[in-house]
Amino acid sequence: MKDKVVIITGASSGIGKALAFSFGREGAKIVITGRKEAPLMEVSQALTKTGIENFALVSDVSIEADNVEMIKKTIKQYGKIDILINNAGISMRSMFADCDLNVIKAVMDINFYGTVYATKYALPYIKETKGSIVGVSSIAGYRGLPVRSGYSASKFAVNGFLEALRTELMHTGVHVLTACPGFTASNIRVASLGSDGNSKGESMRDEGNMMSSEEVADRILRAVKNRDRDMVLTLQGKAIILINKLFPKLADKLTFNALAKEKNSPLAKI
């Protein structure tokens, strides 16, 4: 990773922040983006204090023009792009019947179109360096999760997009990684949108026994170094995917029962 230029979207907290430190400690030059300036600059200052060269850009991945500027400014600053990590994401928590459709659109705009926009404008430069495109997806991209219909749809879309892109690029030397953490201790559930589009402001799961953002970041770093095709984390995550493939009806029941146990789950009322 020495002197590699790495763009990490959604890097003001959680997995994105952890990725900035993981890749930065390996000698990479880190470009971090986020919608909120204050927390983004805090991460930038923390990276600088540890000796990690970084460049912070306030940018919203759901806005195409912001992605154009993100790439232009990165090239102006460093002259190349080696790795793009599409990490920015948001979740939602609502029964579909109760959900304002603008919530679904907002999740798709950030999770799916944000990945598409950033990848589109970074791709010519990544082809030049024969670098890597990473999508931080989810187990929900393999198995639809109730009360998270929009989130699941966005991650299925990301997985399909990256799979198609990987096949298109297989003779170019560009590496494409689909990284699917299981439940991870991060702020994505706290920031998840409710049925009305407002942030829930609390996690519905006990995060004490979850994989940490730092562990996830280190595993993604390793997968990029190895130029792996896919990365599925946690035994639970791997089990969900396998059961869903072999015994889909059983997977329906197990998924429903597991998520009905979440705090204030609407499934518990059914």
> CA angle 114-116-118, nearest 5°?
65
Q: Is 151 a catalytic residue?
A: yes
Torsion sign, CA atoms 166, 172, 173, 174: negative
pLDDT in tens, 112-148: 999 999 999 999 999 999 999 999 999 999 999 999 9
Tens of pLDDT along 147-189? 999 999 999 999 999 999 999 999 999 999 999 987 765 555 4
Which residue in the list 113, 117, 142, 151 is annotated as catalytic? 151
59: containing domain: 5-236
Whether residue 31 lies inside any domain: the answer is yes
Does 217 reside within a domain? yes
Q: Is 105 part of any domain?
A: yes
CATH code where residue 217 lies: 3.40.50.720
Please indicate, yes or no, whether the overall pTM of this predicted structure exceeds 0.95.
Answer: no
Helix (H) or strand (E) holding 34: strand 29-34
CA 56/CA 213 separation, integer angstroms? 20
Identify whether 227 is part of a domain. yes
222 vs 33, 153, 175, 196, 232, CA distance in Å? 22, 28, 13, 39, 13
Give the residue-averaged pLDDT of 75-92.
96
What the block records as the tokens of 84 is: 């793009």
Q: Is residue 263 part of a domain?
A: no
Q: In the structure encoding, which two tokens stand for residue 261, read together?
A: 């146990």
Residue 15 lies in a domain: yes
Residue 247 lies in a domain: no
Count: domains in the chain: 1
